[in-house]
Amino acid sequence: MEIHIEEFFSEPGGWEEARVSIGSSLAFFGIYACFELLYDSGSLPLLVLGGATALSGIAELLPTNRRRSAIVLRVTAIVLLVALIATALRSLLS
């Protein structure tokens, strides 16, 4: 798997690229709601994952002339995921 930085700064890709992120976001929020309603034990990491994938999907749904807004949303999604990883590592080490 190669990482191409120019794709990160590209124009929004439209529905074809957003559908996986939007679907994943709905799945994460649905799993959270299921556990919260049935077991009263919703997990904050599920909300963070849902929020990050929603931001990624929204970034792809923006009009093509909103490139900077898409980049900001993508960076915000990555920051959320890195914060989630940092929190998990901190709890493992303590």
**53 with 32: CB under 8 angstroms?**
no
Per-residue pLDDT of the chain in tens (94 residues, 90 and over written 9): 677 777 767 788 888 889 999 999 999 999 999 999 998 887 899 999 999 999 999 999 999 888 889 999 999 999 999 999 999 999 999 8
* Alpha-helical regions (H) of 1-94: 5-8, 15-39, 44-61, 67-93
What per-residue confidence (pLDDT) applies to 5? 75
Predicted pLDDT of residue 42: 78
Which pLDDT belongs to residue 49?
95
pTM: 0.87
Give the pLDDT score at 1: 63
**Angle, helix 15-39 to helix 44-61, in steps of 10 degrees:** 160
